[in-house]
Amino acid sequence: EPEVTQTPSHQVTQMGQEVILRCVPISNHLYFYWYRQILGQKVEFLVSFYNNEISEKSEIFDDQFSVERPDGSNFTLKIRSTKLEDSAMYFCASSEAHEQYFGPGTRLTVT
């Protein structure tokens, strides 16, 4: 069964550093998303991406965040200058129709 994959599974970084989280969506899906979940809190939408551009973004997705589809298979989330409060699980999702399928997540720890 096709699935969304994410790397790395755990990333530790120092405050102020740049991080890139990587995702490989399901191959025939055209819509891609990033969500995050701070420990003990609900899953929150960050951004959606279609046809090489951002479709929608939340207020969390400020200028420190960017997304890119650098090739035909990868979808990345970049955080330019990480803050302590960016520590969370980051989930990539993709969809072909209305159902969104989530990856296993990257746990980002900012120290």
Can you give the binding site for another protein, defined by CB under 8 A?
Answer: 4, 6, 31, 33, 35, 41-45, 48, 50, 55-56, 58, 89, 91, 93, 95, 98-105, 107
**Distance from C-alpha of 10 to C-alpha of 57, rounded to nearest angstrom:** 24
Nearer to another protein, 86 or 90 (CB): 90
- Give me the least distance between CB of 68 and another protein, in Å please: 19
- Give me the least distance between CB of 96 and another protein, in Å please: 10
Nearer to another protein, 16 or 87 (CB): 87
Letter string b/e over residues 62-85, b meaning 16 or more CB atoms within 10 A of that residue's CB: eeebebebeeeeebebebeebeee
